[in-house]
Each structure stands twice: as structure tokens, then as C-alpha cells.
Amino acid sequence: LVYNHADFRLMSSRVINTLDEFKEQDLFLRGILPLTGYNSSVVEYERAERFAGESKYTVKDLFSFAAKSVISFSSLPLHIIPFIGFAELIAGLVFFLARSFHSGLVDRFPNILIASLFLTISGVNTVLLGVAAIYISKIYDETKARPRYIVEKKIGMKEE
């Protein structure tokens, strides 16, 4: 991605035809265009201060834009979920074991047992949820129907 640039751009008909092959409804252009593989150039200029009104882009819009960029090109957050669950599971077991060997166990045993069981069961649920999330991310990738490859030029064939 080019730092601090806008979405305004000039594109050839070849690039536009290639973008037509991406069947996604909510296309993240800043990420998709580099995937096409076509040459691009940047025109740098000094941007003047806004002279009329204020930007209509809110903080909510910025967060939405950031989420869209991550969701469109990465399933890493979904792959992290099982590790969080596993850490939670281990924390519950360690908490139980550490408190079990601590003095004064008899008075607090029910509280320790409930807390560690909650962490352990919650950890198991999070691990299972993470496994389901990984499968869902694979389904999501398939439904995007992105082209496997892009043919820049056909030689000796009729154009369709």
C-alpha cells in the first residue's frame, strides 16, 4: 500500500476488465489493485489545507476502513482464536494447581474449583470456536471467488 494516498486513480481498460473478474461485493481497491500485477505509478504533489468545510470521514469510518482491509486480506485474527482458548485453558489449570498447593486451601476450595473450572471450560469452548472460525475463514475465502490467475495478454487467440 502506498502511504497517505487517496483512492482517486486513473486505470486502463485492461485493469478495469481484470477488476471485473473479482466477484466480491465490497471490493477493497487499495489491496486488490496490487494483486492484479499491472504496473503502476505514483504522482506526488503537495496537498493544500482544506479550504472549505470539514472532512466527513469520522473515526467510525476509519475503524470500518481498517477492519475492511484486515478482513479482506487476512484470516489471521480467526487463526489466533484457538491459541487464546488454549492459553485460557492452561491458565485455568495452572490457577487450580497453584492455588491447590497454597496454604489455607480447605476454606477456599469451592471458590478455587469454580474459578478454575470456569477458565478451563471457557478455554475449551474458545478452542472449539477457533477451530470452527478457521473452517469459516476457508469458506469465506472460497466465496470471494477471486481469480486464481490473471492473463495479461493472449497470443494467437481471439479476444472474448
Which has the higher per-residue pLDDT, 138 or 108?
138
Does 102 score more than 80 pLDDT? Answer: no
138 alpha-carbon distance from chain centroid: 13
Report d(CA 47, CA 74) in Å as an integer: 32
- Residue 1's pLDDT is 64
Phi, psi of 117 (to 5 degrees): -65, -40
- Residue 160's pLDDT is 57
Does 105 score more than 60 pLDDT? Answer: no
Which has the higher per-residue pLDDT, 76 or 154?
76
Which has the higher per-residue pLDDT, 102 or 75?
75
**pTM more than 0.75:** no
- Residue 60's pLDDT is 92
The mean-pLDDT minimum among 10-19, 105-114, 119-128 falls in 105-114
Using one digit for the tens of pLDDT, what is the confidence trace for 27-69? Answer: 788 888 888 888 888 888 887 888 888 888 889 988 888 888 8
Residue 107 binned pLDDT confidence (cut-offs 50, 70, 90): low
Does 121 score more than 70 pLDDT? Answer: yes
Does 141 score more than 70 pLDDT? Answer: yes
Report d(CA 138, CA 134) in Å as an integer: 6
- Residue 104's pLDDT is 56
In whole angstroms, how far apart are CA 154 and each of 22, 73, 88, 108?
Answer: 19, 29, 54, 76
